[in-house]
Amino acid sequence: MTEFGYTLSSEEFAGSELVELAREAESRGYDFLSASDHFHPWLAEQGESPFVWNTLGGVAAATEDIDLGVGVTCPTVRIHPVNVAQAAATTKEMLDGREFYFGVGSGEALNEHVTGEHWPEHDVRMDMLEEAVDVMKSLWTGEQVSHHGEHYTVENARLYTLPDELPSLVVSAFGEESARRAGDIGDGFWSVGPQDVVEEFDGDGPKMTQLTMCVADSEDEAVKTAHENWRQSALPGELNQILPTPKHFDQASQMVTEETVREGSTLTSTDPQEHIDSIQQCLDAGYDHVYFHQIGDDQEAFFEFYEEEVLPSFR
């Protein structure tokens, strides 16, 4: 069964605004929400970066039936996995039986370097993620845990607040190898766009992906807004993982033009069929949870357009 979700963009809205947007998405019939976890926004123009676990608690209290996710958090450098395990368990308990998609990934320097710890290469980050997941799963048993591993030390830790059912651990991956490793450590798979690497994931859990768009009165207006507020998504290679500050992202993204945005993966068309086709590509690739990130302040334009012109094709 396909489920459709809505992105709570922590880079663009304060926590109180995200709670209100969550209520709106629930009233519009979305199946789930995903809140991004950032210490910094990508670009200074985006302007916000609330602590995601406060936001998730507020959303849990302000909504009734909609499922919730964090997409995705990095439990390896900025925050010790002991603390992330406690945060995820508390969030799941507050949802009172609703699903909590606990997305985890290897992170970006933008958010993780702020404590002054070394930012390692990708393979080391994946090893750290696997060890962090082991630590969190041990704590979710409710037993007292001590762990002396290659990357983490835990001494006499026990979680006392635990949900009746554990959150779904959904692992972010973009390449074939990381998709296979995601199947080894997680319940589900998390990506961006209609990437076919989901075929490498061997698991029965949710397969989740995000589509990014800017819905506006005209395509030119949408391109302008997307370029001003989300141009970093068009940066090539691993730049999004290694650049350390919004200033660096601003400098690097000077190479991204409005035409680059128009021709890229961000949906800026006013033609509903292009949006329908992009969603269908995700479904054909094997994803069963597709959620939508609307760039910019005008979230109402997205809600109206998708409710009236796009999602009826899938209901």
Q: Which amino acid, one-letter code, is at 254?
A: Q
Q: Which of 83, 91, 82, 115 has the alpha carbon at shortest distance from 34?
A: 91
Give the per-residue pLDDT at 148.
98
How big is the CA angle at 149 (ends 141 and 75), to the nearest 5 degrees? 65
Q: Which domain holds residue 21?
A: 3-313
The two tokens of residue 157 are 């830790």
pLDDT greater at residue 204 or residue 161: 161
* Residue-wise pLDDT tens digits, 47-93: 999 999 999 999 999 999 999 999 999 999 999 999 999 999 999 99
What is the percent of the chain where pLDDT is above 70? 100
How high is the mean pLDDT of the chain? 95
SS (H, E, C) 153-220: EEEEECCCCCCCCCCEEEEECCCHHHHHHHHHHCCEEEEECCCHHHHHCCCCCCEEEEEEECCCCCHH
DSSP E strand boundaries for the chain: 3-8, 32-35, 67-73, 100-104, 145-148, 153-157, 168-172, 188-192, 207-213, 289-294
Single pTM value for the model? 0.96
- What's the structural domain count of the chain? 1
* Residue-wise pLDDT tens digits, 149-170: 999 999 999 999 999 999 999 9
Give the domain CATH number at 163.
Answer: 3.20.20.30
- Assess whether pLDDT exceeds 90 at residue 269: yes
β-partners of residue 67 are: 32
**What residues are annotated to the active site?**
38, 108
- Assess whether pLDDT exceeds 80 at residue 195: no
* Residue-wise pLDDT tens digits, 31-47: 999 999 999 999 999 99
* Residue-wise pLDDT tens digits, 229-238: 999 999 988 8
The two tokens of residue 246 are 């919004």
Q: What is the mean pLDDT of residues 180-196?
A: 86
* Residue-wise pLDDT tens digits, 95-126: 999 999 999 999 999 999 999 999 999 999 99
Give the per-residue pLDDT at 315.
85
Give the per-residue pLDDT at 135.
98
Which residues does 101 contact at the CB level (< 8 Å), separation at least 6? 32, 34, 67, 68, 69, 70, 71, 167, 168, 170, 188, 206, 208, 289
Lowest pLDDT segment from 13-27, 142-156, 194-208: 194-208
